[in-house]
Amino acid sequence: MSGGMVIIGAGECGGRAALTLRELGYDGPVTLIGDEPHLPYERPPLSKDAMVADAPAVKAIASEADLVEKTITHLRSVTVESVDSVAKRVKLAGGGELAYDKLLLATGAAPRKLPMPGLGKRCVYLRTFSDVLAIRQHLKPQSSIAVIGGGFIGLELAASARRLGVDVIVIEAQPRILMRGVPAEIAAVVHAAHEAHGAKILCGAGIAAINDDGRKVRLTLADGRMIDADLAVIGIGAVPRTDLAEAAGLRIDNGIAVDAMLRTSDPAIFAAGDCCSFPLAVYGGRRVRLEAWRSALEQGTLAAKNMLGHEEPVSAVPWFWSDQYELTMQIAGLADEGSGTVRRDLGENAFILLHLAGDGRLVAASGVGPDNAVARDIRLSEMLIAKGARPDPAALASPDVKLKKLLSG
């Protein structure tokens, strides 16, 4: 009997891939295996709405009824232990095996662990809905949290905690927050918003020791300062989950290495989403790994197509957003491809930095502003980036010149 399509990882990417296989008319078996107990769900709300909602719930990508109707077999709370790429079988923890014709690795990423002694029950990470439920038990007015790491997830959590009236301190080792994520000009706006909402941020602060007695956690900073909190949430980045792929002998290069068709070094195995690195055509085939929701969605869809033989290459421009208080940041493209920036002011405290390469190509756009003030122009910038456009910097800087005009021009 045919093993059909097996997908490991029931997150954004795996979930979308399963649905897409059916949308494209594939009628063999589709098995979606995930180690979480939930339906496939969207992760971005975890640090946002789910963290503040009265009754937190997963935002499912597909309902139970959808999965049944589409005859997608979803194995919950099941971990895949190994992949035998010769026999084309996957082995499940606790026994059991499944055969596959094509396999998709959509295993995502896991929080980077803080390599320090002294961590206990009051030191946690945020990646899953179960993590949200655990963290929320400690988010009460008058309670206090220390967020270790001033990256997107830690800062979003800090903003949500402030909304709940929790005392918040963010500890960042780098000289400023969002060092890897956005230019300094934008980080400064976000930093100010946190302070205006009563969150404290310490930058350039190393942690010398952690003492967690299970009821409170004490952080001792390199300069001797001590910080006590009811909970420490560690947000210092994520690492791709490549263990299965590695053990199966697949090529790894900052994630599971795939080609433009999302194929691994084994032609029957695909990888997509946060776990993979892939060549990005807009930047001359530069290999990147993204941790971004839209990319996981698009790659899940694309992987499904290519598992069915469509041969469609990844072409999207990376895109990311983050919500903190009333502010939204949106970033299209890779800013480190640029050598200079032009600022485009959009009123109401909203602006976009447009990153240009030495040859004049627009390579990225980073914006911040209230609500969706930067959304349209970021989207249009993304289209300019995709076209390889070399727009006139003066036009980009002038809010009176519509980017839509530059696109058609």
Ligand X SMILES: Cc1cc2nc3c(=O)[nH]c(=O)nc-3n(C[C@H](O)[C@H](O)[C@H](O)COP(=O)(O)OP(=O)(O)OC[C@H]3O[C@@H](n4cnc5c(N)ncnc54)[C@H](O)[C@@H]3O)c2cc1C
Q: Which residues in this chain contact ligand X in the complex, by CB under 6 A?
A: 8-14, 33-36, 43-44, 46-47, 79-80, 106-109, 126-127, 153, 241, 244, 273-275, 291-294, 296, 320-322
Binding partner of residue 301 among ligand X, other proteins, none, CB cut-off 5 to 8 Å per kind: other proteins
Contact in structure between 73 and 240 (CB atoms under 8 Å):
no
Q: How far is the CB of 35 from ligand X (least distance, A)?
A: 4
Binding partner of residue 16 among other proteins, ligand X, none, CB cut-off 5 to 8 Å per kind: other proteins
Tell me the C-alpha distance between 329 and 331, whole Å: 7
Binding partner of residue 325 among other proteins, ligand X, none, CB cut-off 5 to 8 Å per kind: none
Tell me the C-alpha distance between 101 and 269, whole Å: 9
Q: What residue ranges bind other proteins (CB under 8 A)? A: 16, 19, 42, 61, 293-294, 297, 301, 319, 321, 371-373, 375-376, 379-380, 404
Helix, strand, coil percentages for the chain (3-state, nearest 5): 25, 30, 45
Q: How far is the CB of 67 from ligand X (least distance, A)?
A: 15
Binding partner of residue 31 among ligand X, other proteins, none, CB cut-off 5 to 8 Å per kind: none
Sequence-distant (6+) residues with CB within 8 A of 285 are 260, 279
Q: Which CB, 121 or 163, lies closer to other proteins?
A: 163
Tell me the C-alpha distance between 304 and 292, whole Å: 18
Binding partner of residue 139 among ligand X, other proteins, none, CB cut-off 5 to 8 Å per kind: none
Dihedrals φ, ψ of 188, to 5°? Answer: -65, -40
Q: Which CB, 34 or 149, lies closer to other proteins?
A: 34
Q: Which CB, 257 or 303, lies closer to other proteins?
A: 303
Q: How far is the CB of 117 from ligand X (least distance, A)?
A: 25
Given the DSSP bridges, would you call strands 231-234 and 80-84 parallel, antiparallel or unpaired?
Answer: unpaired
Tell me the C-alpha distance between 238 and 49, whole Å: 21
Q: Which residues pair with 207 in a beta bridge?
A: 221
Binding partner of residue 109 among other proteins, ligand X, none, CB cut-off 5 to 8 Å per kind: ligand X
Q: How far is the CB of 225 from other proteins (least distance, A)?
A: 39
Q: How far is the CB of 340 from other proteins (least distance, A)?
A: 26
Q: Specify the residue for token string 């946060």.
A: 274
Q: How far is the CB of 80 from other proteins (least distance, A)?
A: 25
Beta strands in 66-143 (DSSP E): 72-75, 80-84, 89-92, 97-99, 102-105, 109-111, 123-125
Sequence-distant (6+) residues with CB within 8 A of 5 are 18, 21, 26, 28, 29, 30, 31, 100, 101, 102, 103, 104, 307
Q: How far is the CB of 339 from ligand X (least distance, A)?
A: 26
Binding partner of residue 106 among other proteins, ligand X, none, CB cut-off 5 to 8 Å per kind: ligand X
Q: How far is the CB of 194 from ligand X (least distance, A)?
A: 16
CA distances to 17, 90, 302 from 306, in Å:
10, 20, 6
Q: How far is the CB of 404 from other proteins (least distance, A)?
A: 8
Q: Which CB, 19 or 186, lies closer to other proteins?
A: 19
CA 39 remoteness from chain centre: 18
Buried b (16+ CB within 10 A) or exposed e, 89-115: bbbeeeeeebbbebbbbbbbbbbeebe
Tell me the C-alpha distance between 63 and 61, whole Å: 7
Q: Which CB, 106 or 201, lies closer to ligand X?
A: 106
Contact in structure between 199 and 170 (CB atoms under 8 Å):
yes
Binding partner of residue 47 among other proteins, ligand X, none, CB cut-off 5 to 8 Å per kind: ligand X
Q: Which CB, 145 or 296, lies closer to ligand X?
A: 296
Q: Which CB, 102 or 127, lies closer to ligand X?
A: 127
Dihedrals φ, ψ of 95, to 5°? Answer: 100, 160
Q: Which CB, 62 or 171, lies closer to other proteins?
A: 62
Q: Which CB, 18 or 146, lies closer to ligand X?
A: 18
Binding partner of residue 13 among ligand X, other proteins, none, CB cut-off 5 to 8 Å per kind: ligand X
